[in-house]
Amino acid sequence: MANTSPITKRLKEARLEAELSQKKLGIAIGIDPFVASPRMNQYETGKHVPDFAIVEKLAKIVKVPPAFFYTIEDDLAELIKIYGRISKKEQHQLLSFARQFASK
C-alpha cells in the first residue's frame, strides 16, 4: 500500500527550500548525528511518519507552520507557508480579507 501522507512531500519541499540536507535537518531537531540522515529519509519516503512533536520541531527549523505538513492541496500549503512567514498584523489582515471574500 502506497503512503498517502502529505508529510512526505511537504517535508522534502520545506527541507530543500531551507537548503538543508537530511542529516543537517535531523541533527537540528535533536536526532543523533549517526542516524539523522537515515531517519529523515524514512520520514521523506513514508517508511515512518513523524509524531506531532517531531513535526513541530521540523516546522520551527524550516520556518513553516506545522499545518503545512498536513495539507494535501498545493495551493493551501503555499498559503499556510505564506501565513506563517508574515507578521501578526498581516495575518489578521489576510484573515479579514479571506472572510470578506468568503462571504460574497
Number of domains in the chain: 1
Residue 1 belongs to some domain of the structure:
no
Mean pLDDT, rounded, for 20-44: 97
Residue 35 belongs to some domain of the structure:
yes
Residue 56 belongs to some domain of the structure:
yes
At 60-94, the pLDDT tens digits run: 999 999 999 999 999 999 999 999 999 999 999 99
Residue 10 belongs to some domain of the structure:
yes
Q: Is the pLDDT of residue 40 over 90?
A: yes
Which distant-in-sequence residues (6+ apart) come within 8 Å of 29 by Cβ?
54, 57, 58, 61
Q: Tell me, what amino acid is at 91?
A: Q
Give the per-residue pLDDT at 57.
98
- CATH number of the domain bearing residue 17: 1.10.260.40
Q: Is the pLDDT of residue 1 over 70?
A: no
Structural domain range at position 77:
6-102
Residue 21 belongs to some domain of the structure:
yes
Whether the model clears a pTM of 0.85, i.e. scores above it, the answer is yes
Quote the CA–CA distance of 11 and 16 in Å, as a whole number: 9
Give the per-residue pLDDT at 3.
58
